[in-house]
Amino acid sequence: MGTEPRFGARTDTASMAGAEPSPSPPLPVRVRGLTRRFGEFIAVDNVSFEVHPGQIFGFLGPNGAGKTTTIKMLAGLLAPTSGEGWVAGFDIRKERAGITQSIGYMSQRFSLYADLTARENIELFAGLYGVTGERFTARQSWILSVAGIEGAADRPTGELPLGWKQRLALGCAMIHEPPILFLDEPTSGVDPVARRHFWDLISEMAEGGTTVFVSTHHMDEAEYCHVLALMNRGRLIALDTPRELRLRVEDPILQVDVNDAPGALKALDGVAGIVEASMFGRSLHVTVLQEEAGTTAIRSALSAAGHPVSRLDRINPSLEDVFVALVRAEGGALEA
């Protein structure tokens, strides 16, 4: 394997005149052919991508897709079997100490100590990253503010509501002001209002120049990302903006509103011309080969099964529709 250059030369007027070229900073994340095996099982299979400064880079995929394994390799917590990767210009194989100081990392499991107070958890992380003196005072105030727990700083962390805990964990991960933040399913189990507040914080950080690498199962959260990487069975199956990913779905998608969506879903099983049917809230999203024939087939099947249709219209694909279609095209998700 070659060595990744830390800086690239820039061709401009100064360099053409013989002056020393100005260095360009390394990309926050760069990966080439990253692979991780566990015995015969390939958890991450020849994955390559780049993340640019200030991006919110969303990592999507079903359980077992390889998202967490990839993040652990990038964070220096797990060595790759093969391939190359650089985070903040540091080699993920050889320079883990540099990576640790350059990133914030928040795992999908709550990472703070429940028996310590919020303030004590902040002090612990400050010690780990060498944040002291006036800088510590300022960072502690910032964390308590963004977590919304100024009045609960001395309560045991385990007693705090989950949304507060997650924001506290985010603040602790950012106590040393790293340029790159890794979030592994950070809002798992959090209510929608708390999730929205959490994502407001992420957006503010990105606007301030922090690069955010986040994995999630929530399709509504994917809408906040600048770029989305979709993984399935350890492979990267799509990498693009949310808008461009939607354009990849060519088959018509119909929204079907009925009183009994689960029953209607069963009634559509095996109907000719239907590619995919799935629950979407209280409605169904049905992908068909052809709009007119599909509409007729759906109405006929549901009428015969005693499910009157209150709405049946073609809609633009949601990111969830895109996700389902792309995973299906790649052989489906791994079964648990």
Among residues 289, 73, 164, the alpha carbon closest in space to that of 153 is found at 164
CA distance 115 to 160: 11
Q: What is the pLDDT at residue 208?
A: 93
Q: What is the pLDDT at residue 19?
A: 52
Higher per-residue confidence, 132 vs 319: 132
Based on C-alpha coordinates, what's the Rg of the chain?
A: 23
Q: pLDDT tens, 41-58?
A: 999 999 999 999 999 999
Could you give all domains of the chain from N- to C-terminal order, each with its CATH number?
Answer: 29-243 (3.40.50.300), 250-316 (3.30.70.100)
- pTM for this prediction: 0.82
Higher per-residue confidence, 325 vs 120: 120
Q: pLDDT tens, 227-242?
A: 999 999 999 999 999 9
User: Residue range 85-109: average pLDDT?
Assistant: 92
Q: Where are the alpha helices (DSSP H) in 175-310?
A: 192-207, 219-222, 242-246, 261-267, 291-304
Q: What is the pLDDT at residue 324?
A: 83
Q: What is the pLDDT at residue 329?
A: 78
Higher per-residue confidence, 10 vs 96: 96
CA distance 309 to 257: 6
